[in-house]
Amino acid sequence: MPDEGLTGASSVSEEARAKINLALHVTGQRPDGYHLLDMLVTFADHGDRLGFARSPADEFFLSGRFGEVLAGDGGTNLVLQARDLLREAIGALAFPVRIHLEKNLPVASGIGGGSADAAATLRGLMRLWGATLPEEALAALALKLGADVPMCLASRPLIARGIGEELEPVPELPAFAMVLANPLKGVSTPEVFRRLAEKNNPALRLAPSRLQTADWLAVIAAARNDLEPPARELVPEISEISAMLQAKGALLTRMSGSGATCFGIFASMTAAEDAAAALHDARPDWYFQATETVSGGA
């Protein structure tokens, strides 16, 4: 995918980084049904990739390991929704575009793939069209696309509260060597929330300072993902895949989002790559990916 890297360029590309919920606390529920969450979020250097180019007419192409999964969703794809909303917001600058989505992340897997794609579309088309929007307007547009899109627009370590719209950067968070693991079995997010035994759980309490990586591991381990127990009831493979990560030396394992992707944090990228390779050999029909997360100070 060519990328001139210029405002108003003829083609640009964007990374749609996997979103990792290091912690997810369900702290309440609004009258409209939305759940209130406290989340510690980071982003992996692995994800989907999008290319954008000037075209005589709007076009959309899919490739990548999981591209076929999205082939039949037509105009419901968040990439196309993001394109159309942004075009409506900026008007005449928005010439027709060819969009290519390389879908490398499992679909509906708790790592924000669709939201990251939508956020990357906003970033990429703003550059391609040479457009600017006030920060507040862009944030509102992102939230309209989904509760996870504003944080994916940032793609940096942060704490997200509310339904995901209250963002607080966490520049102190270090990078982690990690393996993402998914049994490629769907889990229903509404059903996970429905099975929650308690929706008014203790909030996430963090006091970031000059913590070392080992200290951060302890902080994360003391937190929770309140969605993991009901998700494990629905998809027993989540427990199995978490145990597999632990058996390969993960220092900490947890499910991300509403699942079914789990992550294991490893002592080094070499250890993560070795673990991912061994796990893939054991279960080639599942998804294993070694990656490194971005640091808050990147």
Residue ranges of the annotated binding site for ATP are 106-116
The answer to whether 19 is a known catalytic residue is yes
Exactly one of 48, 117, 148, 226 is catalytic; name it: 148
The answer to whether 148 is a known catalytic residue is yes
Angle between helices 78-90 and 113-128 (to 10 degrees): 30
Exactly one of 19, 48, 103, 248 is catalytic; name it: 19
Q: What is the dihedral of CA 56, 59, 14, 45, to 10 degrees?
A: -160
Closest by alpha carbon to 10, among 58, 48, 55?
55
Catalytic residues: 19, 148
